[in-house]
Amino acid sequence: MESTDIVKERADRPSSQRKIAKILAAARTEFFANGFSGASIESIAALAEVSKVTVYNWFSTKENLFAEVVKAECRHMSESLVGENSKTRSLRETLIAVAERMLDSLTKEEKVRFDRVLAAEVDRDPRIGQFFLDNGPRTILQNIVNLLKISQKKGEIQSNDLTSSAEMFVSLVMGRIDLFLRYGENIKLTAAQKRERARKAVDAWMQIHQI
């Protein structure tokens, strides 16, 4: 199952970009509601108000369309990991922002539902699980590693294994929340609770990694 760079390669006109955006929005709704196997190109096309042929013209397969949806979700989560935030904020402030964004995304009801449906489908097709891990969690983890690499070069932190350090950061932020959510626990965190959890996780991580 391979993702495509359709949007980059072919969407060179505003009308095409709008059409692709509508298809991706419809696909996101359909995949999040029904999972990969339960989603249909017919339903996605109807929701996007385009023909099935149009969807296939742009994305060729349901796998490619799913790939683009996953990549878009990853981009939303990864926006605060690099760029201006890391240039204008301290590492601690940047990591707190990242942690809050993680908590916002991973505790959303639709995201929890999507994870449950996706996990149930892995037995049917293990490639789906690997594809999601490669384009989702592993991509986000690598973005965190890249952020830490910049900080390490500046002499702000010490680490013999940046991947392990990134994994530790994610674990400190999430704790057991993801496990409880996966098995039906109803967890609601206020904005203040998310920020406090993020602050404590980052401070613990910084204490371990400071020079």
Domain with CATH 1.10.357.10 in the chain: 82-209
Quick one: three-class SS letters along the chain?
CCCCCHHHHHCCCHHHHHHHHHHHHHHHHHHHHHHHHHCCHHHHHHHHCCCHHHHHHHHCCHHHHHHHHHHHHHHHHHHHHCCHHHHHCCHHHHHHHHHHHHHHHHCCHHHHHHHHHHHHHCCCCHHHHHHHHHHCHHHHHHHHHHHHHHHHHCCCECCCCHHHHHHHHHHHHHCCHHHHHHCCCCCCCCHHHHHHHHHHHHHHHHHHHEC
* pLDDT more than 90, % of the chain: 44
Class in CATH terms, 82-209: mainly alpha
pLDDT of residue 84: 46
10-51 tens-digit pLDDT:
556 677 888 999 999 999 999 888 888 889 999 999 999 999
- Residue limits of CATH 1.10.10.60 in the chain: 6-67
pLDDT of residue 22: 95
Superfamily grouping for domain 6-67: Homeodomain-like (1.10.10.60)
